[in-house]
Amino acid sequence: MASKLSYSFSCTFFLFSFVLSEFSHFQHHHLQQNKSSDNNTYPSPFGFLKKLQGCHKGEKVNGISLVKIYLSHYGYLNYQRNPNVIDPKKDYFDEELEAAIKLYQVYYHLNVTGMLDAPTVFMMIMPRCGFPDKEIHQNSDKSSDIISHYRLFPSRSKWPKGKIHLTYGFGSRFPTRFMPPITRAFSRWATASQYFTFSRAITPQSADLKISFARGAHGDGAPFDGPGGVMAHAFAPTNGWLHFDVDDRWSVRGVPYAYDFETVALHEIGHLLGLGHSQYQSAIMWATIGAGESKGLTLDDIRGLRALYGS
C-alpha cells in the first residue's frame, strides 16, 4: 500500500490482502476447471458457494474453509484473534463460522439462521465491490429519527481540511468511451455534496485520483478474479487508486447483461472520498450490484459524506 495510507488502514488492508490471495488462488483453480468443461460459460468466482447451500454448524464438507476465507475477507470473521481456533483452514462448520454468517445475514437484512440457506448463498455470490463491509462502526444520526446506515473508514480517513478540489486522471489505454461516465459520476458527487469539486488533471501522474482498468494481480495487493465476483475497488483517502476489472462486462447504456459503469464509478468514488459500505440497499454505497442495474446517490450517501466533512 502507498505510504499515504494511515497505519491502521494499511495493517487492516494487508491482512485482507493476505486472505484474498488465498481466496483468489482457489477461485482461479476452480474457474479453470469449469472453463475446461464448458468454454462458452464464465461462472462467478463465488460459484463454489452454490454447492454448499444448506450447510450448517457441525457439518464437515469440502469447501467450508473457503466460506471462512470469504467471510474473513469481507470483515465478518477473524480467526487470527480467536485463541480457541487451532486450524481455521479445516472444512468444518464451527461455532465461529455460524456466528460470522449470522453477522453477514444481519448486515444484508436476511433471516438470521446461521446456516448457508438459499437467500444467504444468493447474496454471497452477487457481483460486488472488493472492499470489506465490516471494518468499522455503524453510525446513527442523533438529530432525527432517521437511521443512517453509512459507514466510514478506520480513523475516519478523509482528505485534509481545505483540500476541496480533487483532480483525476486515467491510466494508459483507458477506453475513451468510459471517460464521460466517470466525469458524470464526479459531477454528481460535487452537486450532491456541495463541498468537493473535481477536474481532470493535466497529466495522469499529477492527479489526486488515479483511475484505471486492471486484470488479475495488478500491484496493489488485491488481485481481481475474472468475470463476476469482484468488479472494482478503490482505497481510502488519500491513496486515490480506483481500479476496474477489465474482465467484467461493462456498459454505458444500461445493457441488461452488463454492469452499469457509471453506477459502479459512483460507488467507488464514494470510497475515494472516505465512505465505506452502507447497509441501506438503495444507497450507492451498498456493496453489490446486478447486471443492468443503475443507481444514484441517496440521502444516506450524502449524510455519510457530511459526517466526515461537515454540512
Instruction: Order the strands of the 165-170 sheet from edge to edge.
Output: 128-129, 230-234, 241-245, 209-214, 165-170, 197-200
- 18 Cβ neighbours under 8 A, 6+ residues apart: none
Q: How far is CA 20 from the centre of its chain?
A: 12
Q: How far apart are CA 48 and CA 4, in angstroms?
A: 37
Tell me which of 96, 135, 262, 268 is the catalytic residue.
Answer: 268
The SS3 of residue 137 is: coil
DSSP letter for each residue of 17-43: HHHHHHHHHHHHHHHHHHHHH-TT---
For 80, the grid coordinates are: 487470527
> What's 84's DSSP letter?
T
For 305, the grid coordinates are: 459524506
Q: How far apart are CA 84 and CA 69, in angstroms?
A: 17
The yes-or-no answer on residue 268 being catalytic is: yes
The SS3 of residue 148 is: coil
**Residues identified as active-site:** 268
